[in-house]
Amino acid sequence: MFSEQSNNSKLLKDINFRCYAELNDFLPKEHRQKQFVYPVKTPLTLGEALESLRIPLSEIDLVLVNGRPASLNERLHEHDSVSVFPTFETLDISQLKGANTPPLRETRFILDAHLGKLAKYLRMLGFDSIYRNDYGDEEIIELSEKEKRIILSRDKLLLQSRRVTHGYYVRSTEKHQQLRELVQKFDLYSQFKSFTRCMTCNGELVPKTGEEIRGLLPGDILQLYSEFFFCPNCGKVFWKGSHFKRMESFIRDLT
């Protein structure tokens, strides 16, 4: 039998949790898609409890405690009922959320080492997306903070950092499905600026005539095409060949 000998005693208290939609991906199978009882040591804040469940705070948009919006600094009490919701992309819930992290004014990304092909596809759609296969976790977080970028990652531990304010765990492992997932998750359709960025280095492309880039391409290409796009960052030249038509078809399918 437990007995409290001082105000500093920490006893296990049962808290009721229910996580919705894709947040279940971070839970053990026995806790998914249903309410579950989670014993915690009190005193404990809501943010600490969510971290102990290994749910990245950047994936959470709204938390209700006993049916009312709650801040992450709020203390939990025994038998509290906690409902946790992911980011809402199509619903305006600003009045419910209160002072939570505001959305970024411009959709820009930084991707971890697992997502190099996705970075190229996002650039194809015109999104400012930086990637290096040797980025460390700290460097990714620092660049995200400094340049106001959304972190895209397949590393759950990276996204669990409290310093990550805007991040998303990419569920799919196939590059085309990853792009579909991102477009749908962040509702990116209206922001497409296809073929305005270099897929290799992320630089902004500049339209050029054949005469302007004559020294950069073989003569047969100049005879077949009249419209070109030059990347001043890495020096590559692009034109609307068969590869472009395949990408254009894929974009039409996305929309």
The model's pTM is 0.74
Distance CA 11, CA 209 (A): 73
Confidence of residue 3 (pLDDT cuts 50, 70, 90): very low
pLDDT at 128 over 80: yes
Calculate mean pLDDT across residues 29-50. Answer: 92
pLDDT at 219 over 80: no
Confidence of residue 8 (pLDDT cuts 50, 70, 90): very low
**Model confidence over 52-89: pLDDT tens digits?**
999 998 888 889 999 999 999 999 999 999 999 987 54
Give percent of the chain with pLDDT exceeding 90: 63
pLDDT at 102 over 90: no
